């Protein structure tokens, strides 16, 4: 499993273990087949509808990378991981909000150093810049993207 897949899985496991996420659907958004994509979407839809959930979902998206120092030996990579928090306020009521869960996500992942395999300890994730942003375009839902970053230089020497 690549470092990107491991980071995504580690973040989802971290969130799923936090008490603030009890009853919240935490999904890794990386389907390997059309059937798996359908199952992920059904789980999200059910959680937002209150079927086996409380109207909240956390979607751990695929990491993004950038290379801020193109001439460095290596490369040196900036990695960003975004967790999308979706609330259906008609189901969630006043119990917990997207804002509550977004802040809990930021708290759980900030300074978290995931162990990706037996040998790799990734640099700690950190909140930086626009780490929590509202997202438009989801009718009837309240949506936030929570983004944490880290630096990775473990690609040096690979061809």
Give the count of beta carbons closer than 10 Å to the beta carbon of residue 111: 11
Instruction: Check whether 9 has a pLDDT greater than 50.
Output: yes
Most confident range, picked from 53-57, 66-70, 74-78: 53-57
Token pair for 101: 């869960």
Q: Are 8 and 60 in contact (CB under 8 A)?
A: yes
Most confident range, picked from 29-33, 67-71, 91-95, 123-127: 123-127
Half-sphere exposure (Cβ direction) of 37: Cα atoms closer than 13 Å = 4
4-26 in b/e burial notation, b at 16+ Cβ within 10 A?
bebbbbbbbebbbebeebeebbb
Instruction: Check whether 155 has a pLDDT greater than 60.
Output: no
Q: So what's the pLDDT on residue 156?
A: 44
Q: Are 85 and 56 in contact (CB under 8 A)?
A: yes
List helix spans (H) across the chain.
3-17, 34-49, 89-92, 98-109
Q: So what's the pLDDT on residue 158?
A: 41
> Is residue 54 helix, strand or coil?
coil
Q: Are 106 and 131 in contact (CB under 8 A)?
A: yes
Token pair for 95: 């119990």
Instruction: Check whether 131 has a pLDDT greater than 60.
Output: yes
| All domains of the chain in start order, with CATH | 3-69+76-152 (3.30.70)
pLDDT band, very low/low/confident/very high, at 95 (cuts 50, 70, 90) = confident
Q: Are 53 and 25 in contact (CB under 8 A)?
A: yes
Instruction: Check whether 157 has a pLDDT greater than 70.
Output: no
Q: Minimum mean pLDDT among 65-69, 92-96, 116-120: which range? A: 116-120
Q: Is the pTM of this model over 0.85?
A: yes
Rounded mean pLDDT, 83-108:
92
Q: So what's the pLDDT on residue 29?
A: 93
Give the count of beta carbons closer than 10 Å to the beta carbon of residue 34: 8
């Amino acid at each position: 499993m690549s470092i990107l897949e491991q980071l995504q899985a580690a973040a989802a496991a971290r969130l799923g273990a936090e008490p603030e996420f009890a009853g919240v659907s935490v999904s890794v958004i990386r389907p390997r087949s059309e059937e798996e994509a359908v199952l992920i979407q059904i789980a999200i839809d059910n959680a937002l509808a209150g079927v086996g959930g409380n109207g909240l979902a956390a979607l751990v998206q695929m990491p993004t990378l950038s290379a801020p120092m193109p001439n460095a030996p290596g490369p040196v990579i900036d990695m960003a991981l975004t967790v999308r928090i979706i609330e259906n306020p008609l189901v969630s009521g006043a119990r917990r909000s997207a804002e509550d869960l977004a802040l809990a996500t930021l708290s759980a992942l900030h300074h978290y150093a995931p162990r990706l395999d037996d040998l790799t300890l990734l640099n700690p994730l950190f909140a930086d810049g626009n780490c929590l942003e509202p997202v438009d375009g989801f009718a009837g839902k309240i949506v936030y993207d929570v983004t944490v970053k880290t630096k990775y230089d473990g690609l040096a020497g690979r061809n």
